[in-house]
């Protein structure tokens, strides 16, 4: 229990430090309704091209059942991932079970600036492949 509290405090202090340092955090919220039954391994963030408007893979965000169980208390995990241009991006990953759906989860992905701005969509992936691109989109 002490370890969990310590992680929560460290995460909160780190997020506060990023905010005070002038870093913007852009949040992408994703509901994965079939996380358990489809054995989802993660989320792809797709970014729209500014010239053509077509969407392409930008960042692959692994989400495991271990992440869900370790972040349900409101703490997050910091991860470094590569974007499509090969640049390392710092992100905060928080995941929790969906209270309305025992098979689903809610994933909150915090992308720490600087990141490319534009329209984004998401898809999920597992060992069998990738889901279709989401109908909903948001802006970064």
Task: Give pTM, 2 decimals.
Answer: 0.77
What's the pLDDT band for 12 if we cut at 50, 70, 90? very low
Domain parsing of the chain, residue ranges: 2-139
User: What pLDDT shows up at residue 7?
Assistant: 46
Residue located via tokens 């992440």: 67
Model pLDDT for residues 59-102, shown as the tens digit of each residue: 999 998 777 766 555 567 888 898 888 888 888 888 889 999 99
How many alpha carbons lie under 13 Å from residue 80 in its C-beta half-sphere?
3
Summarize the chain as % helix, strand, coil (round to 5): 20, 45, 35
User: What pLDDT shows up at residue 111?
Assistant: 87
Phi, psi (5° rounding) for residue 19?
Answer: -65, -45
Helices (H), 48-97: 65-71
User: What pLDDT shows up at residue 74?
Assistant: 59
């Amino acid at each position: 229990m002490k370890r969990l509290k310590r992680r929560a405090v460290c995460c909160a202090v780190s997020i506060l430090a990023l905010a005070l340092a002038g870093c913007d955090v852009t949040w992408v919220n994703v509901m994965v309704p079939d996380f358990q039954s489809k054995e989802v391994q993660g989320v792809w963030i797709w970014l729209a091209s500014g010239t053509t408007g077509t969407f392409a893979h930008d960042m692959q965000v692994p989400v495991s059942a271990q992440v869900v169980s370790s972040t349900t208390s409101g703490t997050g995990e910091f991860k470094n991932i590569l974007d499509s241009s090969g640049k390392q991006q710092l992100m905060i990953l928080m995941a929790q079970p969906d209270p309305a759906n025992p098979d689903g989860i809610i994933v909150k992905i915090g992308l720490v600036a600087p990141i490319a701005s534009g329209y984004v969509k998401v898809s999920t992936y597992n060992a069998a492949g990738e889901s279709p691109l989401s109908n909903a989109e948001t802006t970064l």
